[in-house]
Copies of this chain bind each other. A is one copy, B any other.
Amino acid sequence: MASMLLSRQLSCCLQQNSRLLVFGHRYISQAAAKIDVDFDYDGPLMKTEVPGPRSRELMKQLNGIQNAEAVHFFCNYEESRGNYLVDVDGNRMLDLYSQISSIPIGYSHPSLIKLLQQPQNLSTFINRPALGILPPENFSERLKESLLSVAPKGLPQVMTMACGSCSNENAFKLIFIFHGRTFGCLATTHSKAIHKLDIPSLDWPIAPFPRLKYPLEDFVKENQQEEARCLEEVEDLIVKYRKKKKIVAGIIIEPIQSEGGDNHASDDFFRKLRDIARKHGCAFLVDEVQTGGGCTGKFWAHEHWGLDDPADVVTFSKKMMTGGFFHKEEFRPNAPYRIFNTWLGDPSKNLLLAEVIRVIKREDLINNAAHAGKALLTGLLDLQARYPHLISRVRGRGTFCSFDTPNDATRNKLITIARNKGVVLGGCGDRSIRFRPTLIFKDHHAHLFLNIFSDILANFK
């Protein structure tokens, strides 16, 4: 059924715009037909426009309870499987956004269902402890089989938190505690500007993230200059604030600046930034909330850098099912209750994570992300060559890919059209489209997407 409907859409495109198809090759490969994720669906299946009538009705209902204008559509998670998100109107979409990058091994993974069905696991879901004072017997063991089994090199200490912002907040606290001072830090979110409007903030310096040209390998010299400029500004800010008697306690950076528009930098840039942090006595915090968990082709994106001296703190959330942070031994608080709240995460999330990590290892999903990411990136570069007026600055590491569109309106229109053709995409920055598929996204999913998107671009007016 799914592939039938898809073919109908494609043939419809063929009839209306056959001229456009001449320019490029199509991405149908042998891989596209293969279903190698056994609980996955075999393709999108669209029944209504999205949001459909049921979603619209539910949006209206929810909007009576809270501002629901950010809602894309309502979902049927019971029917969602693998890489496919099913909505309440029965539309089944290839999900390349995976709940803002937070579904690690696809929807309704059989291993997780099994986990929930085991009677010995029930207690973990209904007896949530105050982990800091009364942990369950298996707490250390579970941390070892989950988080510590993938700990970044050199960071043997770990704390769990309930969400991403708590993780960063508490990592900031850790750094200030370590520093023993009460001054500023070096970065905050570049998420939608509306997140910050009206909210009071601290006087913390923000340095520019390099704005590079892509593909990186074609613009090495220009990009080096841009990175040098940004590194210089970091040092200038540290010195400037020191003169104001505001000592910079730490530098926080994302391996790929995500909400800010998927901005990359070279491994060399990050190594030099790490050196600057050390030189000025600043802690070096790597925010892996969005990049962590394997999607870049390494479990942690910062592993690509080959640092001699590890980061001091690494924060995580999303795909890790729980928030939290790793840190060096020397950053360990010297007293209890310094990093503390009632729940400090949730053992039921640690249980799920332990299983997720087993699946990742068993199915070699990190290498899969590297492989499938290559298929996706190659296809995007090809689309960029064919539609340079619509697609530019194609970039990516693993499946963590993105491209720019000419403007916000075009970007949003492309996302809407793609959704109605059965593909869920996300935006970031002011004009970028980002890919955040699950770790079970395979080459054939990339080809499926590229086929659909190629047709969309061919027809785009």
Contacts and interface: CB of A to CB of B under 8 A. Distances in A.
B136 A108 contact: no
Contact of A116 (B100, B116, B182, B321): B116
A127 B77 contact: yes
Interface stretch (A32-40, A58-66, A260-268, A446-454): A58-66
Given A108-B127, A135-B75, A166 B166 contact: yes
> How many monomers of this protein are in the complex?
2
B74 A136 contact: yes
Interface string A318-346: 10010100000000111111111111000
Interface string A179-194: 1111110000000101
A109 B228 CA distance: 60
Contacts of A77: 123-124, 127, 129, 136
Given A163-B162, A338-B195, A132 B61 contact: no
Contact of A166 (B156, B165, B183): B165
A271 interface: no
B157 A166 contact: no
A308 interface: no
Given A66-B158, A112-B126, A75 B136 contact: yes
A348 B116 CA distance: 12
Interface stretch (A196-204, A234-242, A384-392): A196-204
Interface stretch (A14-22, A137-145, A219-227, A295-303): A137-145
A78 B134 contact: no
A133 B70 contact: yes
A100 B317 CA distance: 24
Contacts of A68: 336
Given A70-B340, A129-B77, A182-B198, A156 B65 contact: yes
A381 interface: no
A134 B164 contact: no
Interface string A97-123: 001101100011100110111001011
A435 interface: no
A69 interface: yes
B156 A127 contact: no
A143 B72 CA distance: 19
Given A99-B134, A134-B85, A69 B336 contact: yes
Bin the interface of chain A by size: 35 or more
Contacts of A127: 77, 80, 103, 107-108
A30 interface: no
Given A69-B336, A75-B136, A336-B70, A341 B122 contact: no
Contacts of A96: none
Contacts of A338: 67, 194-195, 197
A263 to B, nearest CB: 20
B102 A135 contact: no
A381 B201 CA distance: 47
A195 B337 contact: yes
Contacts of A407: none
B202 A73 contact: no
A37 B197 CA distance: 50
Contacts of A100: 130, 133, 342
Contacts of A333: 67
A4 interface: no
A125 B99 CA distance: 15
A195 B99 contact: no
A61 to B, nearest CB: 4
15 contacts: A54-B137, A64-B156, A65-B156, A70-B337, A75-B134, A75-B136, A75-B137, A80-B127, A100-B342, A103-B128, A107-B127, A116-B122, A125-B352, A165-B341, A166-B166
Top 4 A-B pairs, shortest CB-CB distance: A70-B336, A69-B336, A162-B162, A112-B126
